[in-house]
Amino acid sequence: MSKYEWLAIRETMDGRFRSARLAQQFLEHASKSRLIVDLGCGTGSNRRYLCRDCVSGVPWRCIDNDDEVLETATHRSAGRPIRFEHVELATDLLLIPIGGDVSITASAFLDITSEDWLSRFVKLAAQSPILIAMTASGAPVWDPADDLDVAIGLCLEEHQKSDHGFGPAAGAQAAPFLADKLISRECNVTLEKSDWRLGSQDAEVLAMLVDSVCRRASSKMHREQVEHWASMRQQQIRKGVLKLTLPHLDLLSLPRFDA
């Protein structure tokens, strides 16, 4: 599966499960901004979701470190008031536009960053309206359960908390950590669950996720064990009985004076 195929699946699933309520609240404040900044924008899925309820007249600056996806995003957004920009967010955080008249958003990004990076981000951005969507917040929950699920979940957690360029990743604690830091700056913060909840209608996505988990876990566990687990899960998908919950959190932060 190419990264573009995965990004397309991710866009569909995130759009289905993310918090529409927090998005709407963010847009009410962002409509008064001079600029909306999208961190780790990829092909622009976060902006496309938010612009379903269009923020009329407010320009966007969409930031990523992958020139290939930025080029794709630029072509998909031709003629719109959007600037796509290459920034190494891990090292060049100071290049992000900041201020009370700048709104900041990101999606499916926060959990790869570190606590140190998040602390620096808060110092720069606490005065802005902030919407961070679809941050991974826990291990997969498989139904029906299996004895190997916990060990596989620990393998996934180990990978999630490895260094993705920002230092040791905050992983599932990223959204609560950011929330605490923003609250200490007297921001009004709301966390809302945005779990992926997949079932028989999502057979193709489930099959892809099982394959992905199998590849990841096989590098840390006995391959035969993991492959047996994956085969069992694929059978359950074909029978239409497998359900999967992937925990996520959405975060909205508003400066106290702007709440």
Query: Tens of pLDDT along the chain (259 residues)?
Result: 788 888 999 999 999 999 999 999 999 999 999 999 999 999 999 999 999 866 668 999 999 999 999 999 999 887 788 999 999 999 999 999 999 999 999 999 999 999 999 999 999 999 999 999 999 999 999 999 999 999 999 999 999 999 999 999 999 999 999 999 999 999 999 999 999 999 999 999 999 999 999 999 998 899 999 999 999 999 999 999 999 999 999 999 999 865 5
| Bridge-based pairing state of the strands 248-255 and 130-136 | antiparallel
Whole-number Cα distances in Å, 140 to 4, 62, 143, 166, 227? 23, 30, 10, 24, 17
CA-based end-to-end distance of the chain: 43
CA distance 21 to 36: 18
Q: What's the confidence (pLDDT) of residue 2?
A: 81
pTM value?
Answer: 0.95
Q: What's the confidence (pLDDT) of residue 27?
A: 95
Cα Rg of the chain, angstroms: 19
CB 197 within 8 A of CB 245: yes
The length of the chain in residues reads 259
CB 87 within 8 A of CB 95: yes
Can you list the domains of the chain with their CATH numbers?
3-258 (3.40.50.150)
Q: What's the confidence (pLDDT) of residue 52?
A: 83
3-state secondary structure of 58: coil
Q: CA-based diameter of the chain, in Å?
A: 57
CB 108 within 8 A of CB 134: yes
CA distance 130 to 26: 7
CA distance 258 to 100: 9
CA distance 88 to 95: 9
CA distance 106 to 58: 17
CA distance 49 to 90: 25
E strands, 54-167, where?
Answer: 60-64, 82-86, 102-107, 130-136, 141-143
245: left (phi over 0), alpha (psi -120 to 50) or beta: beta
Query: What residues have CB less than 8 Å from 226, skipping those under 6 apart?
Result: 148, 152, 214, 217, 218
CB 1 within 8 A of CB 174: no
166, two tokens: 């920002």
207, two tokens: 């099959």
Q: What's the confidence (pLDDT) of residue 253?
A: 99
Nearest to 86 by CA among 111, 113, 63, 57: 63
